[in-house]
Structure formats: C-alpha cells, structure tokens
Structure 1
Amino acid sequence: MKNIGINVNTTKDLNEKMLNFIIEDIHSIDKNVNIKVYRDCVGLDENESDTLDIIIVLGGDGTILNTSKNVLRSKTPILGVNIGHLGFLAQVEISNVKTALERLFAGEYTVEERDMLQCSYDDGNKIRKYDGLNDVVLCRKVNSRIQRYDIYINNTFYNTFRGDGIIVCTSTGSTGYNLSAGGPIIHPSLNVLCLTPMYSQGLTARSIILDSSSLISITSRKEFEDVYLSVDGQLCIKINGLNPLKISRSENKRRLIKFSNNNYFNTLKEKITFKVKGYEGEIYEGN
C-alpha cells in the first residue's frame, strides 16, 4: 500500500487535529507511504481515486456518502473513520484508529461490495441519472400538502400511497432514512431493495422487500405542487412528478473495507441502540 487518500470533513475536524493524528499514525507504520489529503471532496473524483490504493474517509456517514458520489465508478475501496454522529457505515472509531491502521497495513481485512441504486427521469430535455449507496427519496416540499404516489413494479401496478413521499433503499441504506420512517433493518449481505411509504395516511401502508433486479417506477399525481428527488441526502432536485421516476440496481458497486472483528449485530447494538439512547438521555441496558 503506497498511495493513500484521506478525505476529511472540515466541519467535523476544524483544527485538523484528527487528520494530523491519522497521518502521524500512518507514517509511524510506514514512513514511505504517499498521503494525499482532500478537504470536503475538493479535488477527489473518479480519475483521482484510481491513482490511490485506498481512500480513508474522516467524518460521518454523510461524508462517506458524499465521497461515494464523487468517486462513483472507481474500484478503490473506502475505509470510514467515524468522527460524526452514528457513523453506521464507518468501520473505525477514532479511539481505535491506530490498531485499525496496523491491521490495514498487515492485510488483515476484506473488501465488501455493496449494491447501489440508480434512478432516472426525463426532465423534458434529457434523461437524468443518479446513483446512490443508501437511498432514493421522492417527497413533497416541507410546507406543502401531502401527495399521491402511484407505484409500479416491473411494469405492473402495485399500489397508490397518499403521504409525504416514498423511500427506496438498499440493504446498506436500510438503517438510515428508511429506519426513521418505520422501515425494516436489512442485513447488508442481502441483495434486495426496500420500498417504504413515508408517513402515509393509509393504515395498511407498509414496506415491501423486493428482489434487487426489480424495476420500480413512481409517479406523483401532482395535485398541488412539484415533488423533490433526493439521492443519499446529497442532493435535492425539484422534478415534475408526472414523469416517472425509475429506480433499479446500479451497475456500480461500492467497495468498503471491513475488519473481521466488526460484527454487524454488535454494530446494530452499539450504534443504533446504545448511541441513540445515549443521545436521548436514556441508559442502555445491554452489556
């Protein structure tokens, strides 16, 4: 491992104390490693990523998702170091970064390939396409009235939901916005898509788990106002909801570094239960 990129979220590391700490740790393991620093993804794109052996992301889940967007087609693996909120996508906490780096240089890790989503729609001039690791969300404006959304799966009508919007997520993204909207937690080894209505008026409105090869098409009745498209929470675009938003599995994959001691269920316990209860002022009763 000779070329390492570090993408740091400057809002979470204002004085670059964490960044310098990691650089010092890397050089204490191998002083000949070339390190290139990117701040808030500036200068980091697919071509730049291909010159690197690994990208270390210093921030939270949003920073990892933003990095993923910038290096979309790159095969370079990403290692997340959490200095954010939950950091569910991150494999490393800043408290044990030295040990993690030693294991990284010793080759004691695997690379997971996670499915991504692609959404497309006709804006009247061209077909726009966007890829995401977590989710695609079609929703109303905050201060507008609820909308009606027609859902088609593999060109067959599925249902109409009246509510705030529709979330389609990967298994990776199931613990994000989908979970907040009442959707299920899905193990990342499952190659599926999950469609979750957002706060629908219908009591029978529930999530549905679909094969990852499914094609989902969503249109809005546009009874009141335009609807908005969000991909991984990294962009928000007003679109004409009368034109179908088509969502399917992307051809791109996101490669993430994984250490063997990071058990998924322990991560759920620590980051979904323990941290959330801690932020809410409750005591976690587990071990």
Structure 2
Amino acid sequence: MENNTTKKINQATQQGYYLDFGTVIEKAFENYKKIALTGGLGFLIIVIASFALFGSIAVVAFGTADMMGTLTEFNPMDFSVVGILIYFLVMIVFAGLTAPIGAGFFKMAHLAETNKPFSVGVIFDYYKTVHFKELFIAASLLAIINFAFVTGFEFIDYPIVGNMLSYVVAFFTMLTVPLIIFDNQTGVDAISISIKLVLKQPLILLGLAIVSFIIVCLGIIGFCIGILFTFPFWYSFLYTTYNSIFPIENASEIEEIGRLEE
C-alpha cells in the first residue's frame, strides 16, 4: 500500500502538476526578503573559508611567488592521467561533503516561510542528521556525471558542449535536495524523481530558473560583493517551487526529522 509521500510523488510524476509563474516569483521574493541578510552572511563565511582553505593548499603546492600565476592558468587537463583521476576524486568527495550546506539553505528558507527563528548556523544542520548520507551520495553522483561530461568533451576539444550538458544536468536535478530533506527520498531516487518532475513542466521551470539566475546576477553590480546577498534568492526560488508542487503542511514534523541524528 502506498504511503502519502509515495502517492503524491507518483501523482505528480505521472499526471503532472500546476505552477503559476507569477505566484512562484512573488512568493520566492517574499521568502528571500526574510533570509537575504542571514543567508548572505552565511555565503560570506563560506566564501572566506573556501578562499582560506584553497589558498593554503595552493601555497603549499605551488609556493607563494607562483601561486597567482598558477591558479589563473590552472587546468586539470594538463595533469597526467593519474593526476586527473586524483583531482576529480578529490572534487567528487568535496562535492559530497559540501552538499549539506546547500540543504541548510533550504531549511533556512523553510523556517523563514513558517516564521520560525533561524541563524547562520542553520546552514550546517544537515551534517548531523540522517539525511547526510543521501545528500552525500546524490551530490557525488551528480559530480561524477558532470565531470564525465566536462572531461570527455574537453578531450575532444568541445569544452562548451561539456559545460552546456553540465547545466542541463543541474536543471533537471534541481529538486533533488528538497526531495531528500523534505520527503526522505534516497539520493538516487531523488535524482530520478527530480528529472521526472522537471520533464512535466520544463518550459515554465526553465523560465523561472532564468529569471531567478538574472536576479542573482544583479548582485554583481555591487562590486561583486552584492552577489553574496542575492544568491540566497536561488534557494528561495527552488524552495518555493518545491513547496508549490508538494505543499509542506506539517512543518514541525519536518523540522523534527531534520534534527534527528544518525
């Protein structure tokens, strides 16, 4: 017998669902206004930490004098076959380990939508939940697929095609994370379901994604720093889209699931 979650997912993937473009954008803006400052500070912390981490690695690997020149000309395709494999293995693991941060922004959007208190620390909550494994698996699988496209087409001198295919993958799997954290899907199932959902409304979802991307890019006007505070809109858009397809009714139950430790 199907449970309610399975039933609603099967209904949406088989029969389709309705999305109103204007309503999604309007609700996404309302949600974004609640998380813009906190989410922007969260992104700022992540960017600083990333620069510190990769900067330290670059100094150790290349030395201070040659670091900037090496980084600007960096191309993993210049490595040996073993070096390329090691590089991509590291990046795949990195993608898996950072996946819970993205999930944390979804939780922030959800708490804002339900008028619950939240802080910057929310973005790290999913490192201590039962969802960590599936988030890691999903992100790692998607990283493998993307790297395969990028690397494969790089070898045959068509890097643009590889990059375009990676964007296509990102588009069709954009609902993967909320399926994991809000409806307890496995990483593999979440990817599959996300593809089926996007295929039901590809044009309106593409339009929403383009508009949301443009809104995020408006932050570049603020000497690039502003993009840190417009980027949370992307998560508000994805959260609102998911919530429009599968209304998240029992907020307290979902938050409780999100706090369960392994």
Shorter-chain TM-score above 0.5: no
* TM-score, normalization by structure 2: 0.26
* TM-score, normalization by structure 1: 0.25
More strand by share: 1
Which gives a bigger RCO, structure 1 or 2 (Cα 8 Å, sep 6+)?
Answer: 2
